[in-house]
Amino acid sequence: MINDEYNVSFVAKRSYDKMSEMIDEFKISKRLFRRSYLNKDIYVNEEFRRKDLPIIKGEVLRIHMPEEETQADDFSSDIDIVDETIDYIVINKEKNILVHETKNNQGSTLYNALINLFQSRGLKRRVRLVNRLDMNTTGLMVVAKNPFAHYSLMQQMEDGSFRKKYHAVVDGSFPYDEIVVEKNIKTDENDHIKKMICDDGDGDYAKTIFKKVISSEKYSIAEAELITGRTHQIRLHLAYLGFPIVGDTLYNDKTYDDVDRQLLHSFKISFNDPRTNEERHYEVSDHADIINFSKKII
């Protein structure tokens, strides 16, 4: 079987009356299937087969995903790669780097750095981000290396099987061993950069589970598990509880010595491997600035 960044192969576990039944069972994007079939990039036992013909148990279905051309600004940055397969890269994002371009920053982004990383390896694939972090949020991100993997991982994001946990340093003595916050979020009418809590009938549903990790009179570390993934969700929900994140210039009015960003870190993610369906778990240490600041929590 051919399995690499450009090809994905599956062995038929049973017989199917037509190809679409096998496509559905293996959770392959219908868009990818249609495009591959139109371009005759889909094979059964290495021969193109009409989609209305049956597939017999033991036969091998292969989808070829052609090379893709990409362009990026000449920007490179050290990328901390935690793990890599033929389908995805798990990275530990540093602080002070934008994920995507903005009006004020057209080149110095993680997205462009990843494109240049792909190009340096001769990998002719688009960069497909699975989860995103704010410029000053650090920690784990996943980048898909082909459309098959991207669809699988995004489906897991939607159905909640892609799990994400964060550590946040917050202002005040966090009193909850565990608390669930379900508060809708929408864009602030007076400031399009900020988000705000809104009534249940308005905005987007958002749910976060918080747990106390360590607490002192002045500061605490809280664990946050995202059930939904709205922009600024953790930052806003913590501020709603009355425990804004240290260094968060949008939702916390206080200033702190030697803190140059919101102390929020994605330390753990888990999902199923797109190709094998095996559970994958990744965990990294907190960023150095969080570790240093946590010494104040005694």
Burial grade of 277 (CB within 10 A; 0-12, 13-18, 19 or more) = exposed
| Per-residue model confidence (pLDDT) at position 107 | 63
What does the pLDDT read at residue 106?
60
15 in a structural domain: yes
Residue where one domain finishes, among candidates 64, 81, 107: 64
Q: Which residues contact 40 (CB under 8 A, 6 or more apart)?
A: 48
**Position 271 in a domain:** no
Q: Is residue 182 part of a domain?
A: yes
pLDDT value of residue 78: 85
| 241's tokens | 């509880």
The H-or-E segment that residue 10 falls in is strand 7-11
| 205: containing domain | 164-266+291-296
pLDDT at 72: 66
Domain count, the chain: 2
CATH number at residue 171: 3.30.2350.10
pTM: 0.92
Instruction: With respect to residue 169, please indicate whether it lies within any of the assigned structural domains.
Output: yes
- pLDDT tens, 184-206? 999 988 888 899 999 888 899 99
Q: Which DSSP state fits 54?
A: -
Place of tokens 């017989």: 15
| CATH code, domain carrying 26 | 3.10.290.10
- The pLDDT tens digits of the residues spanning 242-258 come to 999 999 999 999 989 88
In a domain, 118, yes or no: no
Phi and psi at 261, nearest 5°, equal -170, 170
- Residues of the chain short of pLDDT 70, as ranges, are 72-73, 101-107, 298
> Is position 246 within any domain?
yes
